[in-house]
């Protein structure tokens, strides 16, 4: 199984739609969160095994909902990446020590082999060019890295969202076999998998 191919023009158009949408509705992503979500977010971040020496990339950070949890682990550095400049401005105001990186993950220009942990929470379905993105994630991550793909409302929640947003959303890999076939070509192995009614966590190691 491979990720579908998509043209550069399609990627730019969908990225623009997403940036505009999330900038407009960014207030919807701030607390208070639905019951149970804060506890599930704690589980998601815990699955990354963050240590004090780690460099962490919070991809699709939004308004930075994971950052207070990440900070509990005292990593050496946190990068926050998003398509929405408005969201990143909010993150920078709240967490001035976090380094913000605007743009598509496939174009992120961090140095080779510098990141220990990549958190892709509630935004995997939004990644337009998954092939280009995971090639770049592999480039910037160290040997022994952890990549956590997750959603605190579960994979089925995407079906609900698909009818609400003006851009396409992909589903999550539904089992370990599918995940293995998708991510092994990029040098990642599946080391953890949770697919519950209201919690999805896929942990990859590289």
Reported as a single tens digit per residue, the pLDDT across 154-173 is 988 887 777 777 887 899 99
Domain that holds residue 186: 8-205
Q: How many domains does the chain have?
A: 1
- With cut-offs at 50, 70 and 90, classify the pLDDT of residue 137: very high
How far, in Å, are 7, 157, 201 from residue 162 at the CA level?
21, 9, 20
Residue 118: is its pLDDT beyond 90? Answer: yes
Residue 26: is its pLDDT beyond 80? Answer: no
Domain membership of residue 3 (yes or no) is: no
Here the CATH number for the domain that contains residue 74 is 3.40.50.150
Domain membership of residue 196 (yes or no) is: yes
- With cut-offs at 50, 70 and 90, classify the pLDDT of residue 120: very high
Q: Could you read off the pLDDT of 35-71 as tens digits, one per residue?
A: 899 999 999 999 999 999 999 999 999 999 999 999 9
Domain membership of residue 1 (yes or no) is: no
Summarize the confidence of residues 166-184 as an average pLDDT. Answer: 93
Residue 31: is its pLDDT beyond 80? Answer: no
Domain membership of residue 194 (yes or no) is: yes
Domain membership of residue 169 (yes or no) is: yes
Residue 28: is its pLDDT beyond 90? Answer: no
Summarize the confidence of residues 118-128 as an average pLDDT. Answer: 96
How far, in Å, are 85, 167, 177, 180, 204 from residue 189 at the CA level?
33, 30, 11, 7, 5
Domain membership of residue 182 (yes or no) is: yes
pLDDT score of 104: 95
Domain membership of residue 142 (yes or no) is: yes
Count CB-CB contacts under 10 A for residue 185. Answer: 15
Summarize the confidence of residues 179-197 as an average pLDDT. Answer: 97
Domain membership of residue 134 (yes or no) is: yes
């Amino acid at each position: 199984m491979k990720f579908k191919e998509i043209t550069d023009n399609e990627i730019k158009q969908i990225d623009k739609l997403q940036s505009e949408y999330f900038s407009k509705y960014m207030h919807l992503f701030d607390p208070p969160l639905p019951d149970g979500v804060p506890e599930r977010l704690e589980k998601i971040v815990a699955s990354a095994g963050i240590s004090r020496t780690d460099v962490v990339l919070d991809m699709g950070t939004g308004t930075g909902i994971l950052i207070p949890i990440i900070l509990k682990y005292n990593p050496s550095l946190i990068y926050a990446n998003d398509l929405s400049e408005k969201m990143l401005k909010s993150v920078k105001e709240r967490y001035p020590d976090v380094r913000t990186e605007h743009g598509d993950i496939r174009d992120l220009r961090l140095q080779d082999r510098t990141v220990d942990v990549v958190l892709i929470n509630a935004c995997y379905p939004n990644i337009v060019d998954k092939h280009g993105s995971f090639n770049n994630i592999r480039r910037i991550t160290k040997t022994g890295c952890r990549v956590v793909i997750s959603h605190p409302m579960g994979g089925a929640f995407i079906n609900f969202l698909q009818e609400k947003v003006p851009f396409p959303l992909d589903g999550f890999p539904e089992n370990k076999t599918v995940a293995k076939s998708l991510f092994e070509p990029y040098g990642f192995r599946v080391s953890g998998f949770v697919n519950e009614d209201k919690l999805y966590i896929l942990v990859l190691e590289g």
